[in-house]
């Protein structure tokens, strides 16, 4: 099948549905490609955004990733720029209107298939975002290989593909709808048919029994079409992603959120946890995926094989500054009661992390400017008995929880 059917879908139903006027009210932020996150998992936290930085958003759709990244780059005051490409003109028009609404002048827009990117000679790129696109391509492996070839040395990518287990229930409904839709039926007719079928799903139906899927209920017609009427999509397990990435000469540096891919997040038995410690981290991630069963998407960062050693910011590098995603250190510190655990919800699962005694004192100092070394010095001034090993032991526990939940990153402090 050519890209034409996929393009037609996104011309009729640009996805996700976005109103450019909403840019005045909020910035949509997420993963991959939040600037703090990509810096942490691709550039070891040390990328200087006052230097030229070129990012490609491949299959940018209605603009979520491109707008967020362009806004974050503009906020640094540096020269960073974003190149947006997509098959769909209608999606591009919405993304362009959103950029105009924000006054962003650092995005250029192109109507291009990923398959044609090399010929267009727009690269090389320091960073590539490809979110929710590879799984719609006729040949995802060739698509990723194209992206890999236009990646600059020392660069990396943030990717998202569907997760198989979390999409339980989607493919049987897709199959049913395919079997009863006339091949030449119009998109609006297909939507009508789908809505009618959805009303009559028996309570045993797996889509009905999967509470974590909501696009067909809350995502408008575009969401329903994308989830249940797509002409081409497939879903992946962790091991299949590793294989896809490996074939393109790349390696995974992180799966997001890290805690969701850590079996320890879900298990309590020390023996079982210890047994799992012996597995390589990707096997542990694959185990966690099977265990939790709720991962609808896999967001992950990759770099060229051989560059993994310096891609991820080292957790306890004393020269890097811990920085909170929302920037609200006081709010987070207030949520942590002395002696109590931090609780959070990960895709519907309630999780809890024991907090070390110094958690509040550390968090309140995480302003993205103080380095870990500075934070230690301040706390050691208040408490002269605090030695560095004890400080680092407590910090690692805090880091595993907050970084695991996608709240905490590391970066080189501003000069
Ligand atoms: C599910 S949307 C995701 C949009 C955006 N990346 C996001 O995360 O919000 C998929 C987008 O990929 C585009 N697309 C699909 N196949 C493509 C291809 N081969 N080359 C370029 N874009 C493609 C579609 O037109 C659509 O806009």
Segments forming the whole domain that contains residue 337: 321-411
Ligand 1: atom nearest CA of 15 is 2
Any domain includes 130: yes
Last residue of a domain, which of 285, 310, 335?
A: 310
**If you average pLDDT over every residue of the chain, what do you get?**
96
* Residue 184: band (very low, low, confident or very high) from pLDDT cuts 50, 70, 90: confident
Q: How far is the CA of 326 from the centre of ligand 1 (A)?
A: 28
Among residues of the chain, what percentage have pLDDT more than 70?
A: 100
* Residue 2: band (very low, low, confident or very high) from pLDDT cuts 50, 70, 90: confident
Ligand 1: atom nearest CA of 64 is 9
State the Cα–Cα distance between residues 157 and 304, nearest whole angstrom: 9
My answer on whether 67 and 147 are in the same domain is yes
State the Cα–Cα distance between residues 56 and 70, nearest whole angstrom: 11
* Residue 327: band (very low, low, confident or very high) from pLDDT cuts 50, 70, 90: confident
State the Cα–Cα distance between residues 20 and 12, nearest whole angstrom: 17
State the Cα–Cα distance between residues 56 and 179, nearest whole angstrom: 38
Any domain includes 79: yes
Q: What is the DSSP string of 303-372?
A: EETT-GGGTSPPTT-TTSEEEESS--HHHHHHH--TTPPEEEEETTEEEEE---TTHHHHHTT-BSSS-H
Closest of 9, 44, 17 to residue 313, by C-alpha: 44
Last residue of a domain, which of 288, 310, 332?
A: 310
**Residue 366: predicted pLDDT:** 97
**Residue 301: predicted pLDDT:** 98
My answer on whether 8 and 124 are in the same domain is yes
Any domain includes 203: yes
Any domain includes 296: yes
* Residue 66: band (very low, low, confident or very high) from pLDDT cuts 50, 70, 90: very high
Tokens for 303?
A: 């770099």
Of all protein residues, the one whose alpha carbon is nearest to atom 4 of ligand 1 is 61
* Residue 1: band (very low, low, confident or very high) from pLDDT cuts 50, 70, 90: low
pLDDT at residue 339 greater than cutoff 80: no
Mean pLDDT (whole number) for 320-339: 90
My answer on whether 221 and 240 are in the same domain is no
Q: How far is the CA of 283 from the centre of ligand 1 (A)?
A: 29
Of all protein residues, the one whose alpha carbon is nearest to atom 23 of ligand 1 is 59
My answer on whether 291 and 396 are in the same domain is no
Ligand 1: residues with CB < 6 A are 3, 6, 10, 15-16, 59-61, 64-65, 86-88, 91, 113-115, 131-133, 136-137, 226
My answer on whether 101 and 152 are in the same domain is yes
CATH number at residue 302: 3.40.50.150
* Residue 183: band (very low, low, confident or very high) from pLDDT cuts 50, 70, 90: confident
My answer on whether 327 and 393 are in the same domain is yes
With contact defined as beta carbons under 8 Å apart, do 91 and 15 qualify?
A: yes
State the Cα–Cα distance between residues 218 and 198, nearest whole angstrom: 13
Any domain includes 316: no
pLDDT at residue 358 greater than cutoff 80: yes
My answer on whether 173 and 268 are in the same domain is no
My answer on whether 208 and 240 are in the same domain is no
What angle is formed at CA 284 by the lines to CA 279 and CA 286, rounded to 5 degrees? 130
Of all protein residues, the one whose alpha carbon is nearest to atom 10 of ligand 1 is 133
Return all residues near 407 (Cβ < 8 A) that are at least 6 apart.
Answer: 324, 325, 326, 332
Any domain includes 59: yes
* Residue 386: band (very low, low, confident or very high) from pLDDT cuts 50, 70, 90: very high
My answer on whether 146 and 67 are in the same domain is yes
Residue of 87, 115, 231 best suited for mutating to test ligand 1, as the one with most atoms within 8 Å of CB: 87
pLDDT at residue 153 greater than cutoff 90: yes
My answer on whether 27 and 127 are in the same domain is yes
Mean pLDDT (whole number) for 375-387: 96
Q: How far is the CA of 395 from the centre of ligand 1 (A)?
A: 40
Ligand 1: atom nearest CA of 129 is 6
Last residue of a domain, which of 251, 285, 310?
A: 310
Name the domain count of the chain: 3
Any domain includes 117: yes
State the Cα–Cα distance between residues 250 and 244, nearest whole angstrom: 9
Ligand 1: atom nearest CA of 86 is 22
Tokens for 33?
A: 């490609």
With contact defined as beta carbons under 8 Å apart, do 318 and 372 qualify?
A: yes
Q: How far is the CA of 243 from the centre of ligand 1 (A)?
A: 22
Any domain includes 315: no
Mean pLDDT (whole number) for 306-335: 94
State the Cα–Cα distance between residues 314 and 44, nearest whole angstrom: 7
pTM: 0.97
Q: What is the DSSP string of 156-205?
A: EEEEEEEBTGGGTTHHHHHHHHHHHS-TT--HHHHHHHHHHHHHT--TT-
Q: How far is the CA of 60 from the centre of ligand 1 (A)?
A: 6
Closest of 362, 368, 371 to residue 397, by C-alpha: 362
Of all protein residues, the one whose alpha carbon is nearest to atom 21 of ligand 1 is 113
My answer on whether 252 and 363 are in the same domain is no
Q: How far is the CA of 57 from the centre of ligand 1 (A)?
A: 10
Residue of 17, 28, 86 best suited for mutating to test ligand 1, as the one with most atoms within 8 Å of CB: 86
CA 135 to chain centre: 15
My answer on whether 110 and 74 are in the same domain is yes
């Amino acid at each position: 099948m050519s890209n034409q059917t996929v393009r037609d879908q996104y011309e009729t139903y640009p996805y996700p549905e976005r109103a450019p006027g909403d840019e005045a009210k909020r910035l949509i932020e997420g993963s991959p490609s939040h600037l703090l996150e990509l810096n942490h998992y691709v550039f070891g936290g040390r990328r200087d955004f006052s230097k030229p930085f070129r990012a490609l958003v491949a299959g940018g759709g209605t603009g979520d990733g491109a707008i967020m990244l362009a806004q974050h780059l503009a906020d640094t005051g540096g020269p960073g720029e974003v190149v947006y490409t997509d098959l769909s003109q209608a999606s591009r028009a919405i993304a362009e209107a959103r950029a105009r609404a924000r006054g962003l002048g650092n995005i250029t827009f192109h109507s291009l298939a990923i398959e044609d990117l090399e010929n267009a000679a727009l690269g090389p790129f320091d960073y590539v975002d490809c979110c929710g696109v590879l799984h719609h391509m006729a040949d995802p492996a060739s698509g990723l290989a194209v992206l890999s070839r236009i990646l600059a040395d020392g660069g990396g990518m943030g990717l998202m593909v569907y997760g198989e287990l979390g999409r339980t229930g989607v493919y049987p409904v897709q199959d049913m709808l395919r079997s009863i839709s006339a091949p030449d039926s119009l998109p609006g007719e297909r939507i009508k048919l789908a809505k009618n079928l959805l009303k009559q799903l028996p309570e045993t139906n797996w889509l009905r029994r999967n509470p974590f899927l909501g696009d067909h209920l809350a995502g408008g017609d575009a969401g329903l079409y994308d989830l249940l009427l797509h002409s081409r999509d497939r879903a992946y397990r962790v091991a299949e992603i590793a294989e896809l990435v490996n074939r393109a000469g790349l390696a995974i540096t992180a799966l997001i959120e890290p805690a969701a891919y850590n079996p320890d997040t879900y298990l309590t038995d020390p023996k079982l946890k210890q047994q799992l410690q012996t597995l390589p981290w990707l096997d542990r991630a694959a185990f966690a995926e099977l265990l939790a069963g709720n991962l609808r998407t896999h967001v992950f960062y990759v770099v060229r094989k051989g560059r993994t050693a310096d891609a991820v910011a080292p957790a306890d590098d004393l020269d890097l500054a811990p920085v909170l995603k929302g920037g609200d250190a006081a709010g987070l510190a207030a949520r942590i009661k002395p002696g109590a655990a931090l609780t959070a919800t990960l895709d519907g699962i309630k999780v809890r992390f024991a907090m070390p005694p110094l958690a509040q004192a550390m968090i309140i100092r995480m302003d993205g400017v103080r380095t870990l070394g500075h934070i230690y010095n301040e706390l050691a001034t208040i408490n002269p008995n605090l030695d560095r090993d004890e400080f680092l032991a407590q910090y690692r526990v805090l880091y595993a929880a907050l970084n695991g939940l996608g709240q905490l990153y590391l970066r080189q402090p501003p000069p």
